[in-house]
Amino acid sequence: MIHQNCIVDVLGRSGKFDKAEEFIAKEMEETNQVTWATLLGAARNQANVPVAERAAKNLDKEMNASSYILLANTYYLAGMIDKSNETRDLMLKNNIKKIPGKTWGVIDGETVSFFANDYSHPEAKEILSFSKYLNEKISKLGYKPNFAFTSRKDLKTEKDKIEHLCSHSERLYVAHALRKANGSRQDIVGYKNLRICPDCHESTKYVSLVTETKIKLRDTNRWHVFQNG
């Protein structure tokens, strides 16, 4: 089934949703949570609401926090803000809590970890400041923030949303690693407990380019290797 779920992933990521759903219906004798969560994630990336809703319906009682967030973000990307907010409200109503994103690894000989919006590190202020500085640099190269991943109701202004993105765990980790590297361009290796969010994936591509640094991040699905964009 792992191999079959990979095929669903490949078809979904390439936008071939008809073929992905046909493969599930005709070639898979049984499906699991991973099958539908994979299709839901691909639908989110393409803002394909009908496919996302069908995937969520098949997940049914297996809908976890990640699935709710994927569906909410799909609505947001499709411009359906009210539906996005309704989905997040439903998640709270069902008492389903989002797992905090965490990125960790060894930096400068020390094992460190960051959560999203984490200000517990002794150098938290400097790390966030550097993350925002990197955001400014990559914006000049063409990076555009994806505010679908800042759809919290309390984030009102563009400045608030950008700071929220800069506070994602993988961004804080990479910013800290680059500060400690002090221009040495040594490889950065980190691990995340959830899938890397598409905005962080896109921004890290640009960061690898502007800093001439190879960045390797392992999430729950695969290794992501960023080098020269």
Q: How many helical (H) and strand (E) elements, i.e. helices and strands, does the chain have?
A: 10, 5
Instruction: List, for residues 95-128, the tens digit of each pLDDT value.
Output: 888 788 899 999 989 999 999 888 889 999 999 9
Q: Which of 68, 131, 124, 59 is nearest to 96 (CA)?
A: 68
Output DSSP code: residue 217: E
The contacts of residue 19 (CB under 8 Å, 6+ apart) are 11
pLDDT at 37 over 70: yes
**Residues contacting 159, CB < 8 A, separation 6+:** none
Residue 153 has pLDDT above 70, yes or no: no
E-strand stretches of 92-187? 102-107, 110-115
Burial of 183 (0-12, 13-18, 19+ CB in 10 A): exposed
